[in-house]
């Protein structure tokens, strides 16, 4: 017998969001790791908020919501709030109840400055990495490094002469002009630089994102964003190595772009074995390094870092950043790197 079409809605619900989320949902394992890291940051949160005034939205809620934006490739905070309004999975992950009101999108605009000024996202990233270290997921000996181009939120028309008197029109007609970072700058994003990653490619206004990857499970051990220039990759690689600390010998895999005599010598001075891919001519890597089997293994594993960049650009939205300024781009890059580690650690069964 056909059932009656009754659309009367009940006034009450006796199921919580916790009961509606499947027990095997991937976000459950991620939520466990996130809660541990946020608990470690409790004293930090106390230090960045005043004891006076009205209670604010808990920073734990804001960070969980921003992670959801990365996981599900949500383009804007306005769309994120729309999802948070009716999506029970999102409400459960953030910590909101069934009847709790959602926030206005400008909440993230105002609180992003607070997170930026106190390095909260970077500390959040470090607590997640520390969990991976405690679980034995980091090798502590073998790493790889690479950089990728992050297209800035600025058009070619905005790249105009630094001297206002030399500007002509809206910048759309620049055919035949000699433009360089020394004489021109973007009026939209002054921190962006005109740069191309390889010969033959078109120059773009961009930043450079750098990743230090652990070779054991492909986790991100260090991350940084820099302005785009010819030496940024090697300079940032040394900074990421220095941030690891410790005095034990480690290996560092890298592509041919890092095969520079000065960089290789700087690594050896730091007790780092340079497993850098060799150029055909004038390579700084000799038989002292290539004769070991570990060199071939590092060259093979190094390619895994490209999948990290692919995830960060396609899922995390880092192919073209939505933010302007080096600090804001760096904050978002750290958040996406944290999200990648969380997904990777959940698949490895950390929770």
Residue 25 has pLDDT above 90, yes or no: yes
At residue 171 the predicted structure's pLDDT band, cuts being 50, 70 and 90, is low
- Predicted local confidence at residue 280, as pLDDT: 86
What's the average model confidence in pLDDT over 232-253? 92
How long, in residues, is the chain? 351
Confidence at 195, pLDDT banded by 50, 70, 90? very high
Distance CA 93, CA 65 (A): 8
pLDDT for the residue numbered 216 = 92
User: Region 279-286: what's the mean pLDDT?
Assistant: 89
pLDDT at 111: 80
Mean pLDDT of 153-165: 85
User: So what CATH class is 138-160+181-323?
Assistant: alpha beta
The answer to whether residue 11 scores a pLDDT higher than 80 is no
Task: Say whether pLDDT at 319 is over 70.
Answer: yes
Report the pLDDT averaged over residues 246-274.
92
DSSP state of 320: B
pTM for the whole thing? 0.92
- Between the CA of residue 112 and those of 228, 327, 328, what are the distances in Å? 24, 11, 9
Mean pLDDT in residue range 254-277: 94
Handedness of CA 322, 325, 331, 333 (dihedral sign): positive
Residue among 67, 96, 69, 92 nearest 80 (CA): 69
The pLDDT, as a whole number, for residue 274 is 94
CA angle 71, 41, 342 (to 5 degrees): 25
Q: How confident is the model at residue 170 (pLDDT cuts 50, 70, 90)?
A: low
- Of 159-163, 176-180, 219-223, highest mean pLDDT: 219-223
* pLDDT tops 70 at residue 3: no
β-strands 193-195, 204-214 pairing: antiparallel
Name the residue ranges covered by the structural domains of the chain: 17-118, 138-160+181-323
- Residue 118 scores a pLDDT above 70: yes
pLDDT tier for residue 57 given thresholds of 50, 70 and 90:
confident
At 283, list the tokens: 């390579």
The lowest-confidence range among 12-21, 38-47, 249-258 is: 12-21
pLDDT for the residue numbered 4: 65
63-95 pLDDT, tens digit per residue, is 999 999 999 999 999 999 999 999 999 999 999
Is residue 183 very low, low, confident or very high in pLDDT (cuts 50, 70, 90)? confident
DSSP state of 158: G
pLDDT of residue 1: 63
Given a cut of 70, whether residue 175 has pLDDT beyond it is: no
Residue 312 has pLDDT above 80, yes or no: yes
**Above 70 in pLDDT, residue 6?**
no
What's the confidence (pLDDT) of residue 324? 93
In Å, how far are 50, 56, 235, 310 from 53, measured between CA atoms? 7, 9, 44, 43
- Weakest mean pLDDT among 20-24, 105-109, 168-172, 205-209: 168-172
- Mean of the pLDDT values across residues 124-139? 93
Name the residue with higher pLDDT: 137 or 11. Answer: 137
Of 54-58, 115-119, 334-338, the poorest mean pLDDT is in 115-119
3-state class of 204 per DSSP?
strand
């Amino acid at each position: 017998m056909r059932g009656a079409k009754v659309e009367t809605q009940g006034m009450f619900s006796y199921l919580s969001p916790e009961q509606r989320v499947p027990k095997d949902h991937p976000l459950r394992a991620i939520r466990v790791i996130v809660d541990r890291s946020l608990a470690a940051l409790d004293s930090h949160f106390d230090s960045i908020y005043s004891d006076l005034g009205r209670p604010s939205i808990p920073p734990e809620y804001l960070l969980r919501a921003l992670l959801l934006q990365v996981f599900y490739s949500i383009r804007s905070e306005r769309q994120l709030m729309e999802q948070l309004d009716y999506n029970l999975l999102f409400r459960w992950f953030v910590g909101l109840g069934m009847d709790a009101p959602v926030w206005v999108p400008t909440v993230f605009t105002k609180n992003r400055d607070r997170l930026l000024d106190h390095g909260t996202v970077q500390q959040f990233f470090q607590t997640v990495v520390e969990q991976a270290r405690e679980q034995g997921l980091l090798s502590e000996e073998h790493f790889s490094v690479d950089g990728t181009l992050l297209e800035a939120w600025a058009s070619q028309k905005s790249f105009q002469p630094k001297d206002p008197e030399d500007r002509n029109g809206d910048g759309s007609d620049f055919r035949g002009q000699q433009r360089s970072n020394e004489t021109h700058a973007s009026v939209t994003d002054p921190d962006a630089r005109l740069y191309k990653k390889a010969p033959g490619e078109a120059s773009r206004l961009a930043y450079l994102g750098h990743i230090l990857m652990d070779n054991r499970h492909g986790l991100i051990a260090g991350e940084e964003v820099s302005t785009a220039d010819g030496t940024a990759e090697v300079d940032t690689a040394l900074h990421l190595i220095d941030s690891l600390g410790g005095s034990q010998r480690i290996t560092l895999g890298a592509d041919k772009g890092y095969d520079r005599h000065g960089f290789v010598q700087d690594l050896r001075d730091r007790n780092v074995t340079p497993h850098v891919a060799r150029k055909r001519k004038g390579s700084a890597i000799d038989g002292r390094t290539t004769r070991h089997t570990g060199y071939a293994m590092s060259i093979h594993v190094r390619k895994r870092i490209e999948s990290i960049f692919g995830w960060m650009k396609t899922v995390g939205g880092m192919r073209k950043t939505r933010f302007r300024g080096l600090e804001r781009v760096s904050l978002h890059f750290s958040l996406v790197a944290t999200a990648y580690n969380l997904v990777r650690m959940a698949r490895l069964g950390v929770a």
